[in-house]
Amino acid sequence: MNTPPHRPTWPRVSPCLHCGVPVLRDNDGTPIHASLSYVCRDRWGQITSTTATPAGVPTGPRHG
């Protein structure tokens, strides 16, 4: 039997706060939609004024 080795925990994926599309991180750590688009799109595919924002991220006061 081939038992796969222990897999590292996959980074938690959160849905976009604006459009609900899963949000990942690019190589620079910038949030990007799983659709590989930085900007949000509405249900009709129109680009909106918002960008990928993972929900669940604390939105409290930031440093600085």
Residues found near Zn ion in the complex (CB under 5 A): 16, 18-19, 40, 52
For the bound state, the minimum distance from the C-beta of residue 63 to Zn ion, rounded and expressed in Å, comes to 24
For the bound state, the minimum distance from the C-beta of residue 10 to Zn ion, rounded and expressed in Å, comes to 20
User: Helix H segments across the chain?
Assistant: none
Cβ 29 vs Cβ 38: under 8 Å = no
Query: Cβ closer to Zn ion: 19 or 57?
Result: 19
Query: Cβ closer to Zn ion: 6 or 12?
Result: 12
Distance CA 11, CA 24 (A): 8
